[in-house]
Chain A
Amino acid sequence: GAGVSQTPSNKVTEKGKYVELRCDPISGHTALYWYRQSLGQGPEFLIYFQGTGAADDSGLPNDRFFAVRPEGSVSTLKIQRTERGDSAVYLCASSANGGYTGELFFGEGSRLTVL
């Protein structure tokens, strides 16, 4: 596809459940970022991948959050034992350059609602 693709676009789950959110970056982009956006706020950084490795996971709020990018393309954000406070839009972005340089291209996000 032409842009960053995220699935599902909407996910409703119950407190305590496990959730996976998928990001398919722009083909050839080596850098991939996950951000979280709460209502009325700007996106907050979660994690950055350069290739297959997590170069910076300093934004992950706690050990319930984990992300992988096993083949250096598609990434999955995994949230265990979801809590109501995890409700937000999870945004994925990719860029052609690494090291936080270059323009970030964002997907439309996955809206997570934890009941």
Chain B
Amino acid sequence: GESVGLHLPTLSVQEGDNSIINCAYSNSASDYFIWYKQESGKGPQFIIDIRSNMDKRQGQRVTVLLNKTVKHLSLQIAATQPGDSAVYFCAEKAGNTPLVFGKGTRLSVIA
């Protein structure tokens, strides 16, 4: 059978709908968080970041929400487009330490 590692959480949304991708992080000392988008065969691409002294940050069509109480991060994509189909990773960093990536969520946009 297939490895469990091949089964990424998947979110399927209709084109034009809003998408919400969630991430639970583990390190309560993390003070900086980033969302990356990775298309097939490419490296991760920066989308948006947020520092721990904020709970919300908006970009173009994207919003990141941070809830430090429950160690939860979410990425909201407005008016999802086919080009948004990719794997999305949250990443966290605590002080002067390397960026640590989560496992990823695959977003599929249905035209």
In angstroms, Cα B42 to Cα A107, docked, is: 7
Q: CB < 8 Å: which of B8, B42, B99 contacts A45?
A: B99
Q: Is A40 an interface residue (CB 8 A)?
A: yes
Which of B3, B93, B99, B100 gathers the greatest number of chain A CB atoms within 10 Å?
A: B99
How many residues belonging to A are interface residues under a CB distance threshold of 8 Å? 26
Q: Does B7 contact A (CB under 8 A)?
A: yes
- B5 and A38: CB pair below 8 A? yes
B interface, over-half SS: loop
Minimum distance in angstroms from A25 CB to a CB of chain B: 12
Which of A41, A58, A107: most chain B Cβ within 10 A? A41
Among B42, B49, B102, chain A packs the most CB atoms within 10 A around the CB of: B42
